[in-house]
Chains A and B, each alone.
Chain A
Amino acid sequence: AQKVTQAQTEISVVEKEDVTLDCVYETRDTTYYLFWYKQPPSGELVFLIRRNSFDEQNEISGRYSWNFQKSTSSFNFTITASQVVDSAVYFCALRGGEAGSYQLTFGKGTKLSVIP
């Protein structure tokens, strides 16, 4: 069975602070895929990033960066210089590598509030 744990239920930061959202996963698959999605109050899940298990290179995109560590089964997400528009619920998700089995397993989400 696959599992994704986001231990932080809610985080509040003051604008311009850096914030890291934690994600820990469990899977028996040797190949798997990790995702981060953002859900603003409107409800739509917005895709942010996808990482493959065989590629541990960390990635930076503007104010966003991701730290994938296979040794600790973690895929953490950092927002640098947070802005009010970053306020949303962030979900980490996992998909196994088995052919024909493409459903996403989501964590419970972390609600981020950026206070001006």
Chain B
Amino acid sequence: KAGVTQTPRYLIKTRGQQVTLSCSPISGHRSVSWYQQTPGQGLQFLFEYFSETQRNKGNFPGRFSGRQFSNSRSEMNVSTLELGDSALYLCASSYGGKETQYFGPGTRLLVL
């Protein structure tokens, strides 16, 4: 089975712009979670989607949003980018959510 894939792998944006990141889960997995990793804050949970519905959300401002499609693929969007949004964004999938989460390679976002 193919693993979790994320596109793009690298992204450079400027402050004020918006960005959309994509995640394709392992085939058959219906839960997709997003995490932000920064040197200062470590790995932090952003949100989780299951069957096109956001089931949980972490403590992030409304500029961070996401969605899930009927094929379980997910996107996350960050609007009005700030320098502090520079991070590695990791997507993880699991069958229903409570099982082990398997991570993708991440998208490295640099905001200038």
| B contact set with A: CB distance below 8 Å | 31, 33, 35, 42-43, 45, 48, 55-56, 58, 88, 90, 92, 94, 97-98, 100-106, 108
Q: Which stretch in A59-67, A70-78, A100-108 binds the other chain? A: A100-108
CB-CB contacts of A17-51 with B at 8 A, as 1s and 0s?
Answer: 00000000000000000010100001111110010
Given the interface pairs A43-B108, A108-B42, the reply to whether A103 lies near B58 with Cβ below 8 Å is yes
Residue of A nearest to B108 (CB): A43
On A, residues with C-beta under 8 Å from B are 35, 37, 42-47, 50, 91, 93, 95, 99-109
* Min CB–CB distance A60 → chain B (angstroms): 19
Instruction: Give bound CA distance, A37 to B60, whole Å.
Output: 24
Residue pair A102, B103 in contact (C-beta under 8 Å): no
Alpha-carbon gap, A101 to B55, bound state (A): 8
Provide the bound-state CA to CA distance between A3 and B43, in Å: 12
| B104 and A44 form a contact (CB under 8 A) | yes
Least CB separation from B44: chain A residue? A106
Bound CA span A43–B108, Å: 9
Residues of the B chain whose Cβ atoms lie less than 8 Å from the Cβ of A44: 103-106
- Cα of A33 to Cα of B10 in the assembled complex, Å: 32
Contact (Cβ within 8 A) B94 A102: yes
Given A44-B103, A100-B56, A101-B56: A91 touches B97 (CB 8 Å cut-off): no
Most buried by A among B43, B94, B97: B43
Asked whether A103 and B56 contact (CB < 8 A) given A44-B104, A47-B100, the answer is yes
Within 8 Å by CB of A102, from B33, B35, B58, B105, lies B33
A43/B105 contact (C-beta < 8 A), A101-B56, A103-B45 known: yes
Known: A43-B108, A44-B103, A45-B90. A102 touches B98 (CB 8 A): yes
Residues of B within 8 A of A109 (CB): 42-43
A45 / chain B contacts, CB cutoff of 8 Å: 90, 92, 103
Q: Which residues of A contact B104 (CB under 8 A)?
A: 44
